[in-house]
A and B are shown apart, each in its own frame.
Chain A
Amino acid sequence: MIPELGQFSLILALNLCILLSLFPLVGAVKGDVFLMGLARPLTVGVFVFVGLAYLALTVTFATDDFSVLYVAEHSNTLLPDRYKLTAVWGGHEGSFLLWIFMLSGWMLAVARFSRSVPLDFLARVLSILGMLCVGYLLFLLATSNPFDRVVPLAPLDGSDLNSALQDFGFIVHPPTLYMGYVGFSVVFAFAMAALLNGRLDSAWARWCRPWANVAWAILTLGLCLGSWWAYYELGWGGWWAWDPVENPPLITWLLGTALVHSLAVSEKRGAFKSWTVMLAILAFAGSLLGTFITRSGLLTSIHAFASDPERGIFILGILVLSVGGGLLLYAVRSPLLKGGVGFHLSSREMFLLTNNVLLVVAAASVLLGTLFPMVFQALTGKLISIGPPYFNAIFVPLMIPLVFFMAVGPISMWKSTSIPFMIARLSKVGILSLALGIGLPLLLTLEFDLWSIVGVSFALWVSLSMINDFGKKIRNKSNLLEGVRSLQPSYYGMQLAHIGVAIMVVGIALTSAYSIEKSVLLQNGESTALGSFDFEIGDVRTFSGPNFSGQEVVISVFKDNSFVTELLPQRRVYIASGTPSTEMAIDAGFLRDLFVTLGDQKENGAWSMTLYVKPFVRWIWLGALFMVLGGLISAADKRYRYLQRAVEEKKANYETHHPDRLVDVGV
């Protein structure tokens, strides 16, 4: 009964979406306030019914209804409750339902928090989002219905959630990533609406910017969680693998980063308008491409068969209609979007433009590496592999100038900055960064490593120029507190995000340069040294979890003969599926991680294991968290709220004076 209700809700939501994609748009074109006014209630309706469908699937999981095929394939009576509730997104069908649910949530947020946006514009935005929703819901219902029943006989128990997914990372990573991904649909819809009515000014950029910043921040968090999860779950100490399924989110992130910066210029200077719109389309295309690649089975491996080519064709259709349509609209309408402000070759605009070009080139290069094996096979019939060595070789050289300009951009001025002025402001910072960049790693490790010098120097270059700029900005204030207060949240957001990049760069450089590892075969009581640590093997304990049983080895770690920590790497066997799995043991630290992966037990009772010491690896995710925080803070900048309040007052005024005319007012 409940699955049927869920399916019925989906069908209702589809119908509401069809109405949403038509009426408000027609209303906006004809200037019909009633039709435009339907946008908000219809959006609420879509959210409610998609939400009900999502709830129905969750209940189906919670009640172990294995007559539903999707539940039978992804759950089991033994599965702990927290995984039963989240196993909803453990497979293609349910995760796509989550995707749609997220989109409807964003739509609701747009309907609720865009009071400052004129009604005709909002109607267009929500209609466009409604169209996307129609495509997604049709796709779900036609090719991937999560509510399909098993006929004729339901299995007694489910075949369990993939044991690799039974982890905290699985609970947090997919929803965050989706939320970020889907957020770029909102920015896309704003861009399309602007192209449709030909109105693309600073006000447009101001409406758009908080949404872009929030979507970007959440996508950053999603990627960060994914990287962290891969690190502790995969067991080889890596935090990024350049896998074809993790590249699309990165591509989207790079384009989104470019978009966030370009929007800043469009808002503040009215420049780069058509470039900004293009980036909004591209970032959205990146998110759809990611969906396509992961769900069509296009770029998996030679052995994973495409589950269903029909799905691939369907998503490709959505991609062609939405992105293709967007690009066509862009080609037709973008001549209208002329920005009227000039700038000098040495100006903040130009530095931001350079940064944008580098980010987009990086995104295109990652895309090339991701798709090239497929194209190569189609043309030559031969298979090749493209992996981390290729991506590192092309990506790092593009990121170095980007980080260089990160220090230059924020201190430069709009329109024109004299080069001697820049040199005067940055020369001390540059010399100090280079000196400390060479000195610090050398002093701490007594080991010369080019990449750690490059990494530390550039990180210092960015953060020192930030500190320098901050100092200059508050110098004229009477005291520090007043100085701190005088700066805008968007300034702090930018600072935090850039410092986040610096922290991440340090993490990447140092962990790549100074990580050490060692594989050993050890018996109870034996010990081995790695770096300055001694690892001593103790007892083996057997234990059983809710749906697995296993063994763990007690490893005590000492440094200079004093006890540091106890590590408990495990090997588990999941009862329902019988699959073995390894659980790494990690002692996380601000300056270093200790990491143990357990191998097999040999005949003589010894265990094989790999030990790692990974300095500064946490800084990679710490930096990402700074970026997330920065993105959120700048999205919360008061100027968006002040404007909103001003408009509401203006509107209230207007309506009391002209009660017969109900018109939304723009900013």
Chain B
Amino acid sequence: MILSEMWSRERSGCYLIVILFFGLPISAQVDTFEFDKAENQERFRNLSNELRCPMCQNTSLSGSSGGVAEDLRREIFFMIKDGQSDREIKDFMFERYGDFIFYKPRLTAGTIFLWAGPAFFLLIGGIVGLSIFRGAQSEALKNKTLTGSDQNKIESLLARERRNLKARDKAG
């Protein structure tokens, strides 16, 4: 298997595999939690998509059949049932698993570069784009104004042509 460790750490295993391009968990997870409100079902879905299975090759809680993922999904289910807010559930996870559990990194002094990055790139991109525009502009301008030697050449060519024409006229 390509650069892979297939290392099942648990019976109900999350198989850590890295295949060619996609890490495929071998068996899919299915839970059967009953929610009283559709809104809570939606919250459960969002939370288990936004939180990472801590033991897995890159998958969310919802995408993993690993033991911890199963436990954490159950935990989220009970916390939602208890009426806890998303904030409280996330704090609960943070206290136990740290920043690693969030797929959407929180804005901190360290992750400011991550969140500001795209805007910074857009700025650089804008500058580069404008400089390409300006470059083309000035280049075109340069091509339109001829240098002194070009002008001389053209004039001598024209003069020669006139002389030739005159000569031909005389001969004709």
Contact = CB atoms under 8 A, between A and B. Distances in A.
A372 B56 contact: no
B103 A579 contact: no
A386 B19 contact: no
Interface in B1-51: 1-7, 9, 15-33, 45, 49-50
B interface, by DSSP: helix, strand, loop or mixed?
loop
Contacts of A90: 1-2
B57 A300 contact: yes
Nearest to B55: A303
A387 B54 CA distance: 13
A589 interface: no
A301 B16 contact: yes
Contact of B20 (A174, A272, A296, A385): A174
Nearest to B23: A243
Contacts, number: 239
Contacts of A357: 122, 125-126, 128-129
Contacts of A92: 2-3
Interface in A618-656: none
A236 interface: yes
Given A238-B63, A342-B139, A353-B132, A245 B18 contact: yes
B32 A235 contact: no
A414 to B, nearest CB: 12
Interface string A581-622: 110100000000000011110000000111000000000000
A301 B57 contact: yes
Contacts of B24: 164, 230, 233-234
Contact of B5 (A295, A303, A394, A519): A303
Contacts of B27: 571, 580-582
Nearest to B31: A519
Interface in A348-386: 349-350, 353-354, 356-358, 360-361, 364-365, 368-369, 372, 376, 379-380, 382-386
A384 B5 contact: no
A389 B50 contact: yes
Nearest to A300: B18
Contact of A388 (B99, B103, B117, B125): B103
Interface stretch (B81-89, B104-112, B146-154, B159-167): B104-112
Interface residues of A, number: 97
Interface string A109-151: 0000000000000000000000000000000000000000000
A297 B17 CA distance: 11
Nearest to B45: A517
A579 B28 contact: no
Nearest to A518: B41
Contacts of B32: 519-521, 599, 608
Contacts of A306: 3
Contacts of B145: none
B22 A226 contact: yes
B114 A386 contact: yes
Interface stretch (A20-28, A333-341, A448-456): A333-341
A162 interface: yes
Contact of A91 (B2, B50, B105): B2
A361 B99 contact: no
Contacts of B56: 301
A599 B103 contact: no
A458 interface: no
Given A389-B104, A608-B32, A234 B25 contact: yes
A241 B22 contact: yes
B1 A74 contact: yes
A653 to B, nearest CB: 30
Contacts of A89: 20
Given A174-B21, A354-B129, A341 B136 contact: yes
Chain A CB within 10 Å, residue with most, of B3, B5, B31, B111? B3
A609 B28 CA distance: 10
B114 A368 contact: yes
Interface in B73-107: 98-105
B140 interface: yes
A404 interface: no
Contacts of A597: 28, 30
A275 B4 contact: no
A300 B3 contact: yes
A229 B24 CA distance: 10
Given A174-B21, A243-B23, A610-B30, A342 B49 contact: no
Interface string A220-253: 0000001001100111101001011110010000
Contacts of B129: 353-354, 356-357
A305 to B, nearest CB: 6
B63 A599 contact: no
B63 A236 contact: yes
Given A340-B139, A387-B58, A307 B133 contact: no
Contact of B103 (A349, A385, A584, A609): A385
A580 B33 CA distance: 24
Contact of A579 (B26, B104, B136, B139): B26
Given A245-B23, A599-B29, A387 B1 contact: no
B102 A303 contact: no
Contacts of A608: 30-32
B110 A368 contact: no
Nearest to B99: A384
A343 B50 CA distance: 46
A226 B5 contact: no
A164 B125 contact: no
The 7 tightest CB contacts between A and B, nearest first, are A599-B30, A387-B103, A342-B140, A235-B28, A389-B104, A357-B125, A307-B3
Given A162-B4, A272-B136, A339-B139, 9 more contacts: A234-B24, A272-B132, A300-B3, A300-B57, A303-B7, A341-B136, A388-B103, A393-B104, A599-B29
23 contacts: A165-B20, A174-B21, A234-B63, A235-B28, A241-B22, A271-B136, A272-B132, A300-B18, A301-B18, A301-B56, A303-B57, A305-B5, A341-B139, A365-B117, A379-B110, A386-B103, A387-B52, A390-B103, A393-B104, A517-B45, A582-B27, A599-B32, A608-B32
Interface of B: 1-7, 9, 15-33, 45, 49-50, 52, 55-60, 62-63, 98-105, 110-111, 113-114, 117-118, 121-122, 125-126, 128-129, 132-133, 135-137, 139-141, 143
Interface of A: 73-74, 89-92, 95, 162-165, 170, 173-174, 177, 226, 229-230, 233-236, 238, 241, 243-246, 249, 271-272, 275, 294-297, 300-301, 303-308, 338-343, 345, 349-350, 353-354, 356-358, 360-361, 364-365, 368-369, 372, 376, 379-380, 382-390, 393-394, 398, 517, 519-521, 571, 579-582, 584, 597-600, 608-610
